[in-house]
Amino acid sequence: MDIAVILFAFFGGLGLFLYGIKAMSDGLQTVAGDRLRVILEKGTSTPLRGALTGALVTALIQSSSGTTVIAIGLVNAGLLTLRQAIGVIMGANVGTTITAYLIGFNLKDYALPIIAIGVFLIFFAKNKKVNYIGQVIFGFGLLFYGMDIMGQGMQPLRSSPIFYNLMLNVENNAFLGVAIGAVFTGIVQSSSATIGILQGLANQHLVSISQAVPMLFGMNIGTCMTALLASIGTTVAARRAALSHLFFNVIGTVIFLPLFIIGVLPIIVELFTNAIFFVLPGVQGNWDTINPMMKIAQYHGVFNILNTIILIPFVAILATVVSKLIPAKEDEIDLSPHYLEPRLLNNLPVALANAKHELVRMGNIAFEVLQNSVEFFSTREEENRTKAKLNEELVDKLKVDIESYVVRAISGKNLTDVLSKKSHTILHAIVDIERVGDHSENIVELAEYAQAHKLSFSEQAM
């Protein structure tokens, strides 16, 4: 067994696979634009509607982290409650299973023609939206091409005693499988990638379903690591949402792993699969006829759907628990931006929408500074002076943050007239709002001067 050949094929195929997912996700997000945020704002009146909306948005953009990030931003702005965001996150888990189902169709024989169609639309279509649709098609084809290369590279593992013994241990100890799946996904930072690898191993008959499912549960836990790491040093709302995502998947594993071990979950998944074939007209098949990749996709889908159905009535309890574990500090002013998510910089319409919402937040804070300054001028209350100074510092910081974010978002991109106008409007507005903060600071300084020199003002002057 040539280790170099295995490694080159595996990591080369993995690279193509990951880039395919990214190209598909970026293209879909660009086509959808700011409508994603609007859908999330309006479709989350209840946790159930939030879950359905989260599933729909994630299925459209093929990025559960993207959906989660937008939801967290809306929580920070007060446009979504934590309970609504938890519903969206649950739905995002369901929506992200679409990738596994796409892989399950095993379209590797059509990968190159699909790539060719995508490239043609990218380079020869004159409409930008069609270019992005071509990017989606290109990524879709590249996903299967990368899977095929990975599969070919993994074939020699059949003769590896080390790999055989590892899989034997996983079959005998389901908790080991969960740990392997969680750690591997935590390292790779993409559950779609690791589940795709698992499907590739199953397709090569290197992993049985009984070995794959515990690892699948672990991969659902490991995918929370991305949000947890990203939430370090961020707002309380972001940390609460990330923790609720972890709780959701850990609780699901605690429920469904024993059901899998005692043989109940396999019966449920098989019945679910056979029911699909029964409902679909003109489609013949059953659990025994589908390929191993689709079987893993079915377990992935059933796990997340049932987990959401079971836990969605307890969203309020989950929100209460994470709020107590991560309490808010009442006297602390949060100096971090709420909307400026770096992972969405490639999606220009959404990035500018984020900057606009941060701009509105900056304007509201500047208005508070002005109110506190005027109150201090009138009453000389120390609390008003402290709030005015702290919030003015926040206004100055947000000016720099928003300006930097917008410049990074538009840098190196061909802007439409609408996006160009929007970006310039934001950049001009932050300067004007920052001036309001500066003038408010001047009012505080004048009041301090008057206080120090015991100057008084007439009622008419006040």
Classify residue 283: in a domain, yes or no: yes
Q: Which residues, other chains included, contact 435 with Cβ-Cβ below 8 Å and sequence gap of 6+?
A: none
The reply to whether 187 and 267 lie within a common domain is yes
Q: 108 with 145: CB under 8 angstroms?
A: yes
- Does the pLDDT at position 68 exceed 60? yes
User: Do 42 and 151 have their domain in common?
Assistant: yes
> Domain residues for 402?
342-452
Q: Which residue shows structure tokens 């299925």?
A: 59
- Tell me if 414 is assigned to some domain: yes
Q: Which of 325, 356, 382 is the last residue before a domain boundary?
A: 325
Same domain, 319 and 361: no
Cα separation of 214 and 255, whole Å? 12
Are both 279 and 386 inside the same structural domain? no
Contact call for residues 399 and 359 (beta carbons, < 8 A):
no
Both 245 and 393 in one domain: the answer is: no
Tell me the pLDDT band of 61, cut-offs 50, 70 and 90: confident
- Give me the mean pLDDT over the 275-299 stretch: 81
pLDDT range class, residue 1, cuts 50, 70, 90: low
Q: 39, 49 in Cβ contact below 8 A?
A: no
Report if pTM > 0.85. no
| CA–CA separation, 139 and 122 (whole Å) | 11
Q: How many domains does the structure of the chain reveal?
A: 2
Q: Locate 436 and state its tokens.
A: 């309001």
Tokens of 73: 């931003």
Q: Residues 381-398: pLDDT tens digits? A: 777 778 888 888 888 889
Lowest-confidence pick of 90-94, 344-348, 403-407, 409-413: 344-348
What string of H, E and C letters represents the secondary structure of 250-306? HHHHHHHHHHHHCCHHHHHHHHHHHHHHHHCCCCCCCHHHCCHHHHHHHHHHHHHHH
pLDDT for 455 equals: 65
- Please state, rounded to an integer, the average pLDDT across all residues of the chain: 83
Cβ within 8 Å of residue 149, ≥6 positions away? 9, 12, 13, 16
Query: Which one of 26-35, 115-124, 436-445, 447-456 scores highest in mean pLDDT?
Result: 115-124
Average pLDDT, stretch 76-102?
83
41 within 8 A of 73, measured Cβ to Cβ: no
CA distance 325 to 267: 37
| One-letter amino acid of 295 | K
Residue 462 within a domain: no
Residue 78: pLDDT band with limits 50, 70, 90: low
Q: Are 106 and 66 in contact (CB under 8 A)?
A: no
Tell whether 200 is covered by a domain: yes
CATH number at residue 386: 1.20.58.220
Same domain, 112 and 207: yes
The answer to whether residue 213 is domain-embedded is yes
Residues 346 and 321 in one domain: no
Of 294, 325, 356, the one marking the end of a domain is 325
Task: Give 31 or 194, the one with higher predicted confidence.
Answer: 194
Number of Cβ atoms within 10 Å of the Cβ of 159:
9
In a shared domain, residues 426 and 297: no
Q: In this structure, are 320 and 347 located in the same domain? A: no
330 within domain boundaries: no
Mean local confidence (pLDDT), 258-269 = 93
The single-letter DSSP state of residue 345 is: T
| Residues 165/257/268/274 CA torsion (nearest 10 deg) | -40
Asked if residue 185 lies in contact with residue 65, where contact means CB atoms within 8 angstroms, the answer is: no
Looking at residue 212, its pLDDT comes to 92
Find tokens 């559960």 and name the residue. Answer: 64
- Note whether 149 and 111 are within 8 A (CB): no
Which pair of structure tokens corresponds to residue 244? 């609720």
Could you tell me if 319 and 245 are in contact, meaning their C-beta atoms sit under 8 angstroms apart?
A: no
The answer to whether residue 79 sits within a structural domain is yes
Residues 30 and 136 in one domain: yes
* Residue 289 scores a pLDDT above 90: no
Query: Final residue of a domain: which of 325, 357, 380?
Result: 325
* CA angle centred on 98, ends 97 and 102, rounded to 5°: 125
Give yes or no: residues 166 and 284 share one domain: yes
Does residue 404 lie in a domain region?
yes
pLDDT digits 0-9 by tens, 408-461: 888 877 777 788 888 999 999 999 998 988 888 888 887 777 777 666 665 655
Q: Quick one: 242 and 307 in the same domain? A: yes
pLDDT at 333: 58
